[in-house]
Structure 1
Amino acid sequence: MKLLPCLRDPQCELLLLRSCMGVAKLLFGLRTCQPHLMEDAVSRFDDGLRKAIEDIVVGGGPFFGDLQWRLASLPMRLGGLGLFSARDVGAYAFVASRAQSWELQDHILRNGGVAGLDPDYQQALERLNVSLPDLDIGGFSNKDTAPSKPQKTLANALFSKIAQGLGEAFDLSPRQKAVFECLKGPHAQEFLTVIPIEGLGQCMSAVEYRTILKYRLMIPMYPEDETCPICRKACMDKYGEHAVHCKELPGFKYRHDWVRDVLGDILRRAGISAKKEAPVNFLTDPMEGRSTLRPADLLVFGWAGGKHACVDLTGVSPLVGLRENGFVAGLAARKAESKKVDKHAKACAENQHVFIPFAFDTFGSLAPEAINFLTRVQQVIHSNCLTPRGQGFVFGRLGFAIQKGLAAQLVARLPSVLM
């Protein structure tokens, strides 16, 4: 598989692979031919797909191994890049297609004397049972008991089994297990579906996008124990966790401001009146030891029952507490949300304002209140949009903004040889 020579933007290349060069090009053959007849085509296709993804992510560099290929070929809801392997799809496509078209087959062959299961289908069921030994496939032996959406049923079962066995298959370290769980967080992969639009800030340089993909696929980027070139105080780690936490610009304050600006623009385009860095006379930080007035990141006018809403953004690393027992993915964002509520909710209520904590982590996963807020914004946009395609605009764009801010932190600390 060879990509267009003029297309060297990793974001565009991934979208191209997913939309027109992915497994969909082979899906008709997988659905209409017995799996064993497609083995050679499947192998050739997957070899080409893996080489294409490897070129996009590391550009011929090292560290793209079987683990990275496995992650890339998982569905996005399970923490992958959504670039399906033909071998995975081939495990269930033939059976799903036959089960889905059972009534049509009976209608066409009603006068041909053909009834019951044919040998091809029986053989495909046996092969499927090898891939999914824990799944009761008895229902697929009868048209009256076959599920209404067989392909979705089998795909969910197969990929869930693969995801659950990832730790054993690759002997993952605690950090790798934690990252994989974080990638499955709510809306963590939304940015992957964003269409590049310069006017909306939905573009990254090739270096930035590759760096984000490396960070998520757990590919080493930095020499260990070298001093951070920005703060000159701490040592770098190979996966970039110091770069995520470094306070020197571009740091998390830069990411916070970028996400705030994009969120403000989303509200403006939705027709929701809001002001960035709006001064209010009651938001204080009790940790300062004195009553220091601070502005709201976003003040949304007339948000709930005529009351204005103070939206307070906070970004955290989801890997906080990784060295402690009982790590739970998404807990860091929920704790940050709770702290914000304890700090500001009462003061807002006393002054006839609504307080909305907007917590997110570096992988783009959102805390519950942030999801509720964006869901309502999305509903406003959808009510004013003539096509359902606008429904994913809010979460996708916000997720891309989080990753773009993170990319600036990571790229600023990369060795010059990797730029």
Structure 2
Amino acid sequence: MWKAKARQAELPELGFRKLQKTWDLPLCNTSLSSLLELFHDDEINKARLLAQSTPEAGVWLNALPSAHIGNLLDDDTLKISVGLRLGAVICDPHECMKCHKPVDGQAHHGLSCLFSAGRHPRHGALNSIVCRAFVSAGIPAKLEPRGTSHTSERRPDGCTTFAWKRGMCLAWDVTCVDTVAASHVKSTSTKAGAAAILAEEKKSRTYLYLNGRYIFAPIAFETMGSWGPSAIALIKELGKRLRDHTGEKRSHEFLRQRLSLEIQRGNAASVMGTMGEAEKLNELWML
């Protein structure tokens, strides 16, 4: 039965058969392949499925929903987050109140709208979480530092004030790009995290002037949950240092959860921003 559902996948190695993950993973991969085949000519849904298949995309679902630690999503945010994850119809089609372009039932327009209501608040929240994590790990850091260059007016989002590695401070810059934007969907429908990878490469070129004086780490996320490789590596290292400094073994996971939750909040604010400040938003909801 298992081999039939897993499409004749090889049995797990004898020493790993006691782990449930080794039995579940082939089944999950088979289900993902079936869904991708179902949406073979639908780039948006393929991009969504590939992004949601990454480990980082579902981290927010494991967060303890407590208001005291900032992990509780309000009802509208939860509805939108689940709807975007499942590709469900979220609202009635309507005209964006910001740019007057049409918004379909899946409400993806809000995620890439030039006047997105969630973009700047999300950027600030993500950046603050990273900065606080450095400080909590015993590494002083500051936001938008001045004096990183005498020749460029650009400033990274933050930097440590003490050495991170190799005797150099670390500078970082955060961005969150839309997985299903028209400019990204062709690449994200073939490779999970493609938009985040491209964004990190762009950030690295932008802050090339920091080379030799700072270690620069671009931190790119996608609206559908994928993270760029530099973001994954930095947050993993930062989580390890948090664990060593605080003694909390789950520090890395808690940090990932907070970042993932802020992405969801930004998505929800962006979607709701297309509807304006109407008092009867429930008339548009489909969930």
Which of the five TM-score ranges fits, normalised by the shorter chain? 0.7 to 0.9
Q: Which residue of 1 aligns with 2:171?
A: 310
- Does residue 227 of the first structure (1) align with residue 89 of the second (2)? no
1:280·1:294 contact (CA, 8 Å) conserved in 2? Answer: no
Report the Cα distance in structure 1 between the residues aligned to 2:203 and 2:238, rounded to whole angstroms: 21
Report the Cα distance in structure 1 between the residues aligned to 2:218 and 2:169, rounded to whole angstroms: 14
Report the Cα distance in structure 1 between the residues aligned to 2:157 and 2:234, rounded to whole angstroms: 14
Q: TM-score, normalised by structure 2?
A: 0.84
CA shift in 2, pair 1:170/1:374, >3 Å = closer
Report the Cα distance in structure 1 between the residues aligned to 2:283 and 2:164, rounded to whole angstroms: 49
Report the Cα distance in structure 2 between the residues aligned to 1:189 and 1:377, rounded to whole angstroms: 20
Match of 1:343 among 197, 200, 206: 206
User: Structure 1: which 5+ residue stretches go unaligned?
Assistant: 1-126, 285-290
Match of 1:205 among 60, 74, 82: 74
- Identity over aligned pairs, percent: 24
Alignment of 1:1-16 (within 5 A): none
Alignment of 1:227-266 (within 5 A): 227-229=95-97, 231-248=98-115, 250-266=117-133
Q: Which residue of 2 aligns with 1:195?
A: 64
C-alpha displacement of 1:321: 3.4
CA shift in 2, pair 1:324/1:275, >3 Å = closer
SS of match in other structure, 1:166: helix
C-alpha displacement of 1:128: 4.1
User: Structure 2: which 5+ residue stretches go unaligned?
Assistant: 276-280
Match of 1:329 among 172, 189, 192: 192
2:156·2:172 contact (CA, 8 Å) conserved in 1? Answer: yes
- Does residue 396 of the first structure (1) align with residue 257 of the second (2)? yes
Q: Which residue of 2 aligns with 1:353?
A: 214
Report the Cα distance in structure 1 between the residues aligned to 2:82 and 2:206, rounded to whole angstroms: 35
Report the Cα distance in structure 2 between the residues aligned to 1:211 and 1:267, rounded to whole angstroms: 31
1:251·1:409 contact (CA, 8 Å) conserved in 2? Answer: yes
Bigger radius of gyration: 1
SS of match in other structure, 2:185: coil
CA shift in 2, pair 1:222/1:371, >3 Å = same
C-alpha displacement of 1:213: 0.6
Q: TM-score, normalised by structure 1?
A: 0.59
Q: Which residue of 1 aligns with 2:227?
A: 366
C-alpha displacement of 1:175: 1.7
CA shift in 2, pair 1:281/1:322, >3 Å = closer
**Which letter does structure 2 place at the counterpart of 1:275?**
K
Aligned CA RMSD, in angstroms, stands at 2.8
SS of match in other structure, 2:226: coil
Q: Which residue of 2 aligns with 1:157?
A: 26
**Which letter does structure 2 place at the counterpart of 1:330?**
G
Report the Cα distance in structure 1 between the residues aligned to 2:90 and 2:114, rounded to whole angstroms: 19
Higher RCO (C-alpha under 8 Å, 6+ residues apart): 2
**Which letter does structure 2 place at the counterpart of 1:328?**
K
Q: Cα deviation per residue 1:211-255 (whole Å; 9 max; x = unaligned)? A: 11101110122333x3212x1432213222210112325242222
Report the Cα distance in structure 2 between the residues aligned to 1:261 and 1:248, rounded to whole angstroms: 22
2:99·2:115 contact (CA, 8 Å) conserved in 1? Answer: no
CA shift in 2, pair 1:283/1:193, >3 Å = farther
- Does residue 134 of the first structure (1) align with residue 8 of the second (2)? yes
CA shift in 2, pair 1:307/1:152, >3 Å = closer
Q: Cα deviation per residue 1:279-301 (whole Å; 9 max; x = unaligned)? A: 235287xxxxxx5x133211112
- Does residue 417 of the first structure (1) align with residue 283 of the second (2)? yes
